[in-house]
Amino acid sequence: MAKGRRFHNRQKSFAQKRREKSQNKEKPRTDTRQNYAEIVRENKDFEQYYKAQKICPEAEWDSMLESLKKDLPTAFRITNCSPGEAKALLSIVESKFFKELVNDQETSEEEKVAPICMPWYPERMGWQLQLSRKDIRRSQAYSKLHQFLILETAGGNTSRQEAVSMIPPLLLDVQTHHKVLDMCAAPGSKTAQIIEMIHAADSNPVPSGLVVANDVDNNRCYMLVHQAKRLNSPCAIITNHDASVMPNVLYTNEEGQKVPMKFDRVLCDVPCTGDGTMRKNPDIWTKWTPSNGNNLHGIQYRIVKRGVEMLAVGGKIAYSTCSLNPLEDEAVIQRLIVETQGAVQLVDVSQMVPALKYAPGLSHWKPASKDNLDGYNSFEEVPEKWHTQVRPSMFPTGDPSFHLERCLRLLPHQQDTGGFFIAVLEKVRPLPSEQTKIDREAAYKSNLATEQEAAANGTEEKCDVPADDGADVAEPLASSPSREPPSKKRKRQPQGFKEDPFVFFTEEEVVWPAIRDFYEISPSLPTDCLLTRCLVGKKKIIYFTSPMVKNIIQANEGNLKIINTGVKCFVRCDNKVMSCAFRLGQEGLSSLKSFIGEKRKVRVNREELITILNNSTPEHPTDLDKLRPETKQLLGRDDFGIGSCLLELQEEDLPLSIVGWRGKSSVRAYVSGNDLVHYLRLLGADVTKFEVNKFDKKKTSESELNEEDAENKETNSASADQAEGESTVESAVA
């Protein structure tokens, strides 16, 4: 999981960025957030344009505008970390405890923090607070609540995500066996949701489904790494391509041929003007013009078009923007339906989210220019000087068979959210270019058969081999070269881009026998799915991927720019007393624990686990004498031996597995500080001693440094601790 070394020379290192950030915190803040208060939330052009587009019923216009001018409430969802943990967190959110997260009940407006369950989000897992992020961050009264959200988000147990942004993955209806492509994925809140859906069947720790999460921006790809890492999935691959010319993702089929993968689900959350996010980013009020949307229409169309090319027939694609503008929304969808000659069709998703309020998609809109905000009725009305910006294909066709009303436009006042647009389409048949290819191949095969028959009969004829038009139906490719989408020239990979290799274990892997024997790993573990990121030298971290992810990684060498994959399972610790050089990694436990033998597993009860978690520093571990006699006896046995082990709580409602370390006469939990507080909280223990009130503490605390990470605004955060150079023995708790 390391970032390319050569790349490091061209960028600031993670440590350097972190240092600078910490120093900047001490300087008086002159950032945009402060200036946001001074921004006048008004733009006459915006109002005139959107009134002409009729995106909102006239009677609701004022309340929509009023809502757009207010700060955005904070939303979060409880992730599908594991069903037991998710339920335990839900009961915390629903309990009095959550209200008590407000420090000062007297002075705060208590009702503001009562979380509101979003009725359209499944299983009560989506919540909204009547507080903006700024309210929570800046007010001492909410510091406990702030820490709760930061910590649980950092541990992957909650996700702080805009309410409307949670909708596209829900409508995609992702199943655990689906191959999903997320084309414009960073910072990755929707990717995280998709990964959770792939893992929804808890009984299968290594699902057959997978997610390829892509972004054109290399730095933002590391935000994706961070998101995926929080979820500990062996089923995610992060790639770095321009989605409009994304190469085919190859895999090796059962016949040993490399063929392009056709995805079951594709998410196109495209770059957009973002005028639906004005409540969060008020500076958009000052920059808004109709040209912004016109200029993005082209790239938005090219991305979704490429998405449809990579989609399987029968598969679904979700197109979304956080823009209210029909030029970025319905006009793109209409163009797609027209140019694919109906090979994709809008799906009626209204029954999937019955409690969600939205406006149906428009079937009429008016492309506009800066000097005509009321818009043009037809291309003929557009002055020549705007012809490069306003194109004929942007005008509505008015064809009712397109069912543009099946698109969803979420208006800010409808349920106090940001503005958003979503359309879900199904690929009902191959694209015209794909069909041509299929027909040509069929003709070629039939000609070949005739030719062979003729040859056999001695009446041979000439038969032309069909020219390749570049369409990428799932035919085998002779060897590895992939094809770019039709009529696009192959783009050169950026100079200086280099990731560490993905080196999968072979049967000769020298470090494996000691690990296998120490943890009694079952032979059913596909050991060829274990990998490291170094070709030579000491292996420090061993990752695990699903078999299909491995297949893709190996089939796409030299084809795809793969930034990251795999979940950390074993970490070198070189402790002289331990007979195996690798400890278990908490991150990989959910994938690996069913393969680990009984020898290194210790059943503990709730009280014991709380004691162990509360005494987890290397300096003050839990003495074995403090445990029940049976636990002490098991851990104290000579043949148990010093080293890494698995602590298991087997409560029906809250099964937990935690990496532990058995010392000479003690035991401790080997988890990160965030996980430690999370587990204690779930177990109902007091966590106040871990709470840091940043208002009391001037010194920059670790949680403050993590704050922006949790808010998805930090870049490169994942690269540091995933580098192969990670310190070999971590302290269990900071």
Ligand X SMILES: C[S@@+](CC[C@H](N)C(=O)[O-])C[C@H]1O[C@@H](n2cnc3c(N)ncnc32)[C@H](O)[C@@H]1O
The 497-536 contact track toward ligand X, x by CB under 6 A, reads ----------------------------------------
Smallest distance from ligand X to CB 192, Å: 8
**Which of 381, 385, 406 is closest to 394 using CA atoms?**
381
Smallest distance from ligand X to CB 321, Å: 7
Q: Which residues are catalytic?
A: 322
Q: Does 242 bind ligand X (CB under 6 A)?
A: yes
382: CB partners within 8 A, 6+ apart: 367, 369, 376, 390
* Cβ neighbours, 10 Å, residue 141: 24
Which letter, b or e, does each residue of 569-605 get, where b requires 16 or more Cβ atoms within 10 Å of its Cβ? bbbbbebeebebbbbbbbbbbbbbeebbeeebbbebe
Cα–Cα distance for residue pair 383/375, rounded to 1 Å:
12
Q: Does 269 bind ligand X (CB under 6 A)?
A: yes
Smallest distance from ligand X to CB 593, Å: 30
Q: Does 413 bind ligand X (CB under 6 A)?
A: no
From the list 178, 220, 229, 681, which residue makes contact with ligand X (rule: CB under 6 A)?
Answer: 220
**What region does 341 belong to: left with phi over 0, alpha with psi -120 to 50, or beta?**
left
- Nearest to ligand X by Cβ — which residue? 184
Q: Does 56 bind ligand X (CB under 6 A)?
A: no
Q: Tell me whether residue 215 or residue 709 sits nearer to ligand X (CB atom).
A: 215
Polymer length in residues for the chain: 734
Helices 83-94 and 673-682 sit at what angle, rounded to 10 degrees? 70
Q: Tell me whether residue 71 or residue 217 sits nearer to ligand X (CB atom).
A: 217
Q: Which of residues 625-664 bind ligand X (CB under 6 A)?
A: none
CB 257 within 8 A of CB 476: yes
Q: Tell me whether residue 243 or residue 563 sits nearer to ligand X (CB atom).
A: 243
Segment near ligand X (CB under 6 A); pick from 240-248, 513-521, 596-604, 692-700:
240-248
Smallest distance from ligand X to CB 218, Å: 9
Smallest distance from ligand X to CB 191, Å: 7
Q: Tell me whether residue 321 or residue 706 sits nearer to ligand X (CB atom).
A: 321
Q: How many helices (H) and strands (E) does the chain have?
A: 25, 26
Q: Tell me whether residue 188 or residue 673 sits nearer to ligand X (CB atom).
A: 188
Smallest distance from ligand X to CB 240, Å: 9
From the list 83, 84, 205, 271, which residue makes contact with ligand X (rule: CB under 6 A)?
Answer: 271
From the list 93, 174, 243, 347, which residue makes contact with ligand X (rule: CB under 6 A)?
Answer: 243
Smallest distance from ligand X to CB 415, Å: 19
Q: What are phi and psi of 128, to 5 degrees?
A: -130, 140
Cα–Cα distance for residue pair 422/353, rounded to 1 Å:
13
Q: Is 693 helix (H, G, I), strand (E, B) or coil?
A: coil
From the list 173, 217, 691, 704, which residue makes contact with ligand X (rule: CB under 6 A)?
Answer: 217
Query: Alpha-carbon torsion 299, 271, 550, 207, what sign?
Result: negative
From the list 159, 244, 340, 703, which residue makes contact with ligand X (rule: CB under 6 A)?
Answer: 244
Cα–Cα distance for residue pair 718/709, rounded to 1 Å:
10
726: CB partners within 8 A, 6+ apart: 540, 541, 571
Query: DSSP characters for 165-221?
Result: GGHHHHHHT--TT-EEEESS-TT-HHHHHHHHHHT--TT-SS-S-EEEEE-S-HHHH
CB 138 within 8 A of CB 683: no
Q: How many residues bind ligand X (CB under 6 A)?
A: 20
Smallest distance from ligand X to CB 162, Å: 9
177: CB partners within 8 A, 6+ apart: 207, 208, 209, 264
Q: Does 216 bind ligand X (CB under 6 A)?
A: yes
Q: Tell me whether residue 165 or residue 657 sits nearer to ligand X (CB atom).
A: 165
**Which of 305, 411, 350 is closest to 54 using CA atoms?**
411
The 353-382 contact track toward ligand X, x by CB under 6 A, reads ------------------------------
Q: Which of residues 294-313 bind ligand X (CB under 6 A)?
A: 299, 303
Segment near ligand X (CB under 6 A); pick from 78-86, 239-247, 492-500, 529-537:
239-247
Q: Which of residues 156-215 bind ligand X (CB under 6 A)?
A: 165, 183-190, 215
Strand order, beta sheet including 655-662: 601-604, 643-650, 655-662, 666-669, 622-623
Q: Tell me whether residue 224 or residue 331 sits nearer to ligand X (CB atom).
A: 224
Binding site for ligand X (CB under 6 A): 165, 183-190, 215-217, 220, 242-244, 269, 271, 299, 303
